[in-house]
Amino acid sequence: MRQLPPQSNPTFGFSDSPFGECCLAFSNDGICALTFPESREGAFIDLEHRFPETDFKRDDKRVTRIIRQIFEGGKIPELNPIGTEFQQSIWRALQQIPKGKTTTYAQIAEAIGRPKAVRAVGTAIGANPIAYLIPCHRVTKSDGGIGGFRWGLECKKKILDWEKK
């Protein structure tokens, strides 16, 4: 976790999405968080944990414009996921999964050249800071089960169903 520099204009806000209310955080470098929190307070606590000592400014109107571009216009803005090199490799692999398709934790581990690191892959997927745009929801269990999702299985099911349409 790191601090976003003040000159990068760290901003966050809330907006409705096809999957419920979301929280989006971004800076001049791109989106650093997109979550589907249970509460606004929980979303802000998560941001404080991820970006200690970062002074985010709130701008719900701007966030709503960006969310509409994503979910109504299909525009993928610049992303700025902050994590370890290993996490970054997992998140890049997730972005290769086509919309409407799923893969398994084991297949992601294989894709990054670490076939025995399935558990670590699962941990990195769970730490994904940018839901939907880094599609961790497209990863399922090898036994065919839906697997977990940080923002709840109901949200994961909604996203997967929406993408199939």
Which residues carry out catalysis?
Answer: 136
Q: For residue 53, give the nearest of 13, 105, 101, 10 by alpha carbon.
A: 10
Total count of residues recorded for the chain: 165
C-alpha to C-alpha distance for 7 and 40, rounded to whole angstroms: 25
Q: How many CB atoms lie within 10 A of CB 90?
A: 28
